[in-house]
A and B are shown apart, each in its own frame.
Chain A
Amino acid sequence: MKINLKVWRQKNNKAKGELKDYKVDHVSPDMSFLEMFDVLNEDLITKGDDPIAFDHDCREGICGSCSMHINGRPHGPLAGVTTCQLHMRSFKDGDTIVVEPWRAGAFPVTKDLSVDRTAFDRIIAAGGFISVNTGNAQDANNLPIGKEAADEAFMSAACIGCGACVAACKNASAMLFVSAKVSQLALLPQGQPEAKMRVMAMVNQMDAEGFGSCTNTGACSAECPKGIDLSNIARMNREFFSANLTGK
């Protein structure tokens, strides 16, 4: 396959970026999208050019590192996959593909396609945890949890924090991410003691980071590689209302 790319190149956070054209020949349909970039980068290095910076780590769809906005959609055209799990067979020979970084004020571009997503880390640090004593973990069966609650919490916990929700949202809102992280603990007994403090702190941090507000377009959930449901946002709203009405 031959693929034409238009890739966002930006030297650093301060520099002005632009879309640059690249041609990649000898692309195998079985390559992942990132492997195609590896091939392109090998070429660039051989030519003495600066390789394209992009985020990646596990390359098996679970770490949430890869973050390419491909032809106007985060993680490209397929539903339920991350960029690393997107294969070139999803494109046609001779296709022109536009590749951009996540666009959000809260996700500044560090270089090329790589963005700084530490805003998510700061939101987690604000309240996305439970406080437990150190020492041996207690027996898992000490705390009975209904299967339905466990399943629902697990669905929320499937969020890998890649930021596709922010990238897809027209308001660059982080509410799907934050609501998944609020929900995974709000649904379980371990999350209850700090529930009110948690949702207030996480929403405050989310607002402080400069993410937009949710207007319920549903783009986040449609683009989420893990299929995090919009009901999480409704749950976060309920948690937030009740924390404001009855919390400290």
Chain B
Amino acid sequence: MNWISTFLKSSIGKKLLMGLTGLFLCTFLIVHLTGNLQLLKHDGGLAFNTYAVFMTTNPLIKFVSYGLYAIILFHAFWGLYLVMENKKARPVQYAAYNGNANSNWSSRWMGVLGTIILAFLILHMWNFWAQYKFGTVPYTQYERNLATGEVTFSPFTGEIAGKMEKFIDNQSGIEVTIVKDLYIVVADGFKAWWLVIIYVISMAALSFHLVHGFSSAFQTLGVNHKKYNALIKNIGVGVFGIIIPILFAIMPIYFLLLN
């Protein structure tokens, strides 16, 4: 198995690891976005809270999430290591260097953009993941009328086993859900305008990181052909550079305006 370590230590092997982990993280963004978009549903957070319970209790998802944390850390620190390695390749800097004449600035600032994203992730995990796992999160009781679909909700002060309890009252035709309310943590958190600004700036950094990162990963994998280069570029810019960061950024802005 010596050839594998030799391969991974080569300059091409090193960047293959960046490309593969980066593309994995891109797929995660889609999953994360799809789930979080339920925040925008007008149901007092019922769908989002149910989703949060599923994401934190399903054994397969828990297993994948630990892999995800490991890959995020690997991508971040391997990237920073490679930035430093690459800096060593030019010990004496140019007095005049006109990078804008030959390349996109985001492609030259991937390390800085990535560091901003890493700092954001630490803040983001603290804001919500840590609060949900270790903080005191209130419970809310939702009552959904099965005939009309109308949802009413109120704070739940009793105790339940686990994060969620769900039952249907057949007589009244009402589905009752008592659930740990992450939605309210999110809604309260984004009352702070400065936090919203930090989130929006971070999404801008994510956008520029992915405008280069997505198509760059394919180039590293050796996927370069005039038949599909434009498609890869357009997905990188349009989907990962524009649509996904904007949809993520809409959420904190939505809660700020809601208050």
Task: Give 6 closest A-B pairs by Cβ, nearest first.
Answer: A72-B98, A212-B89, A234-B224, A238-B222, A171-B86, A222-B102
**A72 and B14 contacting across the interface, CB-CB below 8 Å:** no
**B219 and A171 contacting across the interface, CB-CB below 8 Å:** no
| In the complex, number of A-B residue pairs with CB atoms less than 8 Å apart | 134
Chain B 223-237 near chain A by CB (<8 Å), digits 1 or 0: 111000000000000
In the complex where A73-B102, A100-B95, A234-B224 touch, is A212 in contact with B108 (Cβ < 8 A)? no
Question: By DSSP majority rule, is chain B's interface helix, strand, loop, or mixed?
Answer: helix
B103 CB-CB contact with A under 8 Å:
yes
Q: Which residues of B contact A98 (CB under 8 A)?
A: 95-96
Interface on A for B, CB 8 Å cutoff?
6, 8, 19, 69, 71-73, 77, 98, 100, 103-106, 168, 170-173, 175, 203-204, 206-207, 210-219, 222-223, 230-231, 233-238, 240-241, 244
In the complex where A218-B107, A231-B224, A238-B222 touch, is A213 in contact with B98 (Cβ < 8 A)? no
Q: How large is the interface on B (under 10, 10 to 19, 20 to 34, 35 or more residues)?
A: 35 or more
Select one of B91, B98, B108, B225 contacting A105, CB under 8 A: B91
B101 CB-CB contact with A under 8 Å:
yes
B172 CB-CB contact with A under 8 Å:
no
**A234 and B223 contacting across the interface, CB-CB below 8 Å:** yes
Bound together, the chains give a CA A122 to CA B230 distance in angstroms of 36
Question: By DSSP majority rule, is chain A's interface helix, strand, loop, or mixed?
Answer: mixed
- Give me 20 other A-B pairs in contact (C-beta within 8 A), A206-B11, A213-B85 excluded: A6-B95, A72-B99, A103-B90, A103-B94, A104-B90, A106-B89, A170-B86, A171-B89, A172-B89, A203-B12, A211-B11, A211-B89, A212-B11, A213-B82, A217-B103, A217-B212, A230-B219, A234-B219, A236-B12, A241-B12
B46 CB-CB contact with A under 8 Å:
no
Task: List the A residue with the shortest CB-CB distance to B225.
Answer: A231
